[in-house]
C-alpha cells in the first residue's frame, strides 16, 4: 500500500488526508488534535524523517520556501511545486509579469513601493479599488473597496510595514473586476493538466457577501451554472498558456494550480493563482474524489498524469469560525457536539467534520484558531449535500461561533 505523508495542520490537510486514506496509509505532519479519526496517524517528525512514497504538501508557505525541492532531491515523489513554481503565489508582482508574458487575461495593474506612487495610481482609478501586498499575507493582504479614502489609508498602512511587515513594502494596485468568482483546480504533472469539478468559495464573513474578507467561510462543488463551454474557454485561455509559460521558464510544475477566476461581462479573468488547494475548497473537492485521489495525485507527482475520475455527486462545506474572527479569534472555548474522535457525537450519513483550529483540553475539544471546524456534507446532489452539511453543523456549537447560513443557497 502506498505510504503517503501530508504536510500541514488545517482542515484542508485533514480533508486531503481523509480522502487519501481511502487507498493509502497516511501520516499527517504536524497535523492537529482532531485528525485522529479515519485511521490517520499524526506525527511531529518532518516529512523527510517520516519517509514516504508520496508527499502531499498542503499550505503555500512551505512550497514557497522550497520544501518540495528538498524532498524531491531525496528521490521521493512530491505533489506540490518547487520554489520556482510557487512564486506564482509567493509574489503578486512576479505573477502579474508572468501573466503578461503568458498572455493570460487578468486585471490591469501597477506595482508601487512608495506612498506617492500608490496615491497617484489610486486617485487616477475608478472603484472598486484593489490594494494587494506583494508577498504572502495568510490570505488577508487584499483590500477591495469602493472608498478611495479607505484604499489610500490601506496602502499607507501596508507600505509602512506595520500591517504585513516586508510582504507589504511593495504593493500591486489593480483594476477592480466585477462578476461572479469561481475556483478552478488543475492537477498538473509538469506537462499536462486536468481540471477538477469547479468550486465556489464564500470569502466574506457575513451573509450576502458582506463584512471582511476571511480565509473562506464555506464552499460547494460542482458549480452547475458554469457550463462546459466556459470551463473549456478558461482551460484554453488561462491554464494552457500558463503551463506553456512555466515550461518556457524551465519550471516542472507538479501539483495543483488553483485559478481564482472572475467571470466578468468581458469574459473570464484570472484574479490570482494559488499553488495549493483552496481552503475550504479542498474540503468539498477531496471527498468528491476520495475513490481515486491517491492515484491521481501520485500520478501527477510522478509526471504521468492519469485521468480525473467523475466527482462522486456534490459536496457543501460550512465553516464554523471562532468569536472575533478574523481580527482576533478567541481561543479556549469548549466545543459541544463532538465525540472523542473529533467527529459528530452521533454520526450522520454523508457528514464529515474536518478540524482546522482545535486543541484538546482535559479530554474535550476547544477552539484554537480562527476557522475552527469545516463541516462537509456529501450526497448525490447539492440539495442533499447542503441539507446534510447544515444538519451536521447544527449539532456543533461553542460560545461566539460564527457561521454563514447561505452557503450554496439556491445553487444547483
Ligand atoms: P486573494 O487574497 O488574492 O485571494 O484575494 C482575495 C479576494 O479579493 C479575491 O477572492 C477577490 O474576491 C478579491 N479580489 C482580488 N483581486 C481583485 C480584483 N482585481 N478585482 C476585484 N476583486 C478582487
Ligand atoms: N479559499 C481561498 C484560498 O484558499 O485561498
pLDDT in tens, 40-95: 999 999 988 998 999 999 999 999 999 999 999 999 999 999 999 999 998 888 99
User: Which whole number is the average pLDDT over 175-201?
Assistant: 96
Burial annotation 293-308 (CB, 10 A radius, 16+ → b, else e): bbbbbbbbbbeebbeb
Query: Ligand 2 atom closest to Cα of 276?
Result: 4
What structural domains does the chain harbor? 2-82 (3.40.50.20), 108-175 (3.30.1490.20), 180-301 (3.30.470.20), 314-394 (3.90.600.10)
**E strands along 292-350, which residues?**
314-321
For residue range 338-394, list pLDDT tens digits in order. 999 999 999 999 999 999 999 999 989 999 999 999 999 999 999 999 999 999 999
CB contact set of 48 (below 8 Å; sequence gap of 6+): 70, 71, 74
Report the C-alpha dihedral over residues 55, 252, 239, 143, rounded to 10 degrees. Answer: 70
pLDDT, averaged across the chain: 94
- pLDDT beyond 90 at 136: no
Who's near 85: CB < 8 A, 6+ residues apart? 63, 246, 251, 252, 253, 255, 275
Tens of pLDDT, residue by residue over 250-282, are 999 999 999 999 999 999 999 999 999 999 999
Ligand 2, from 184, 260, 262, 271: best to mutate by most atoms within 8 Å of Cβ?
Answer: 260
Does residue 110 or residue 277 have the better pLDDT? 277
Which residues, 6 or more positions from 90, have their beta carbon under 8 angstroms from its beta carbon?
A: 60, 64, 83, 135, 136, 275
Per-residue pLDDT at 290 exceeds 80: yes
In terms of DSSP bridges, do strands 54-57 and 3-8 run parallel, antiparallel, or are they unpaired? parallel
**In testing the pocket of ligand 1, which one of 60, 178, 271, 280 has its CB within 8 Å of the most ligand atoms?**
271
Of the candidate ranges 36-50, 131-145, 232-246, the one whose mean pLDDT is the lowest: 131-145
Q: Is the peptide bond before 128 cis (omega within 30 degrees of 0)?
A: yes
Instruction: Report the separation in Å between the CA atom of 277 and the middle of ligand 2, taken as the mean of its atom positions.
Output: 8
Name the pLDDT band for 133 (thresholds 50, 70, 90). Answer: confident
User: With bands split at pLDDT 50, 70 and 90, how would you rate the model's confidence at 248?
Assistant: very high
Residue 135, pLDDT above cutoff 90: no
Pocket of ligand 2 (CB under 6 A): 139, 201, 216, 274, 278-279, 281
Query: Which helix H or strand E contains 244, and what residues bound it?
Result: helix 240-248
| Whole-number Å distance between alpha carbons of 93 and 402 | 34
> For ligand 1, which residues put their CB under 6 angstroms from it?
107, 128, 130, 139, 142, 144, 174, 176-177, 181, 203, 213, 260, 271-272
Kindly give, in sequence order, each residue whose CB lies less than 8 Å from that of residue 268, ignoring residues fewer than 6 positions away: 105, 230, 233, 234, 237, 238, 261, 262
**Look-up: residue for cell 495543483?**
256
Q: How far is the CA of 191 from the centre of ligand 1 (A)?
A: 28
Read off the pLDDT band of 139 (50, 70, 90): low
- 8 Å CB contact between 367 and 212: no
**Closest-lying ligand to the alpha carbon of 274?**
2
Cα separation, 109 vs 97, in Å, equals: 10
pLDDT at res. 189: 98
Q: Return the ligand 1 atom nearest residue 272 CA.
A: 3
Amino acid at each position: 500500500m502506498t505510504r503517503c505523508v501530508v504536510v500541514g495542520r488545517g482542515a484542508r490537510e485533514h480533508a486531503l488526508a481523509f480522502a487519501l486514506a481511502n487507498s493509502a496509509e497516511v501520516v499527517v505532519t504536524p497535523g492537529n488534535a482532531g485528525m485522529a479519526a479515519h485511521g490517520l496517524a499524526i506525527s511531529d517528525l518532518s516529512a523527510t524523517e517520516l519517509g514516504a512514497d508520496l508527499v502531499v504538501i498542503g499550505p503555500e508557505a512551505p512550497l514557497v520556501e522550497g520544501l518540495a525541492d528538498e524532498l524531491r532531491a531525496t528521490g521521493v515523489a512530491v505533489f506540490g511545486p518547487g520554489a520556482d513554481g510557487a512564486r506564482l503565489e509567493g509574489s503578486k508582482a512576479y505573477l502579474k509579469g508572468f501573466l503578461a508574458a503568458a498572455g493570460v487575461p487578468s486585471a490591469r495593474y501597477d506595482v508601487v513601493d512608495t506612498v506617492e506612487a500608490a496615491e497617484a495610481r489610486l486617485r487616477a482609478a475608478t472603484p472598486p479599488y484593489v490594494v494587494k501586498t506583494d508577498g504572502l499575507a495568510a490570505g488577508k493582504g487584499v483590500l477591495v473597496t469602493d472608498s478611495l479614502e479607505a484604499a489610500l489609508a490601506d496602502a499607507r498602512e501596508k507600505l509602512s510595514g506595520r500591517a504585513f511587515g516586508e510582504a507589504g513594502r511593495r504593493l500591486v494596485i489593480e483594476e477592480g473586476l466585477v462578476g461572479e468568482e469561481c475556483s478552478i483546480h488543475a492537477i498538473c504533472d509538469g506537462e499536462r493538466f486536468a481540471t477538477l469539478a469547479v468550486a465556489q468559495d464564500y470569502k466574506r464573513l457575513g451573509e450576502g457577501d458582506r463584512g471582511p474578507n476571511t480565509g473562506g467561510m464555506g464552499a460547494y462543488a460542482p458549480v452547475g451554472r458554469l457550463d462546459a463551454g466556459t470551463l473549456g474557454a478558461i482551460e484554453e485561455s488561462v491554464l494552457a498558456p500558463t503551463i506553456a509559460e512555466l515550461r518556457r521558464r524551465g519550471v516542472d510544475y507538479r501539483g495543483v494550480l488553483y485559478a481564482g477566476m472572475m467571470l466578468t461581462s468581458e469574459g473570464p479573468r484570472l484574479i490570482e493563482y494559488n499553488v495549493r488547494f483552496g481552503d475550504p475548497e479542498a474540503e468539498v473537492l477531496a471527498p468528491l474524489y476520495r475513490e481515486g485521489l491517491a492515484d491521481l495525485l501520485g500520478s501527477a507527482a510522478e509526471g504521468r498524469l492519469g485521468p480525473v475520475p467523475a466527482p462522486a455527486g456534490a459536496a457543501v462545506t460550512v465553516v464554523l469560525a471562532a468569536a472575533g474572527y478574523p481580527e482576533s479569534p478567541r481561543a479556549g472555548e469548549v466545543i459541544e457536539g463532538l465525540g472523542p474522535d473529533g467527529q459528530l457525537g452521533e454520526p450522520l450519513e454523508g457528514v464529515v467534520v474536518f478540524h482546522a483550529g482545535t486543541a484538546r483540553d482535559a479530554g474535550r475539544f476547544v477552539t484554537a484558531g480562527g476557522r475552527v471546524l469545516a463541516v462537509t456534507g456529501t450526497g448525490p446532489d447539492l440539495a442533499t449535500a447542503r441539507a446534510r452539511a447544515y444538519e451536521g453543523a447544527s449539532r456543533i456549537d461553542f460560545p461566539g461561533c460564527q457561521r454563514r447560513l447561505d452557503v450554496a443557497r439556491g445553487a444547483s
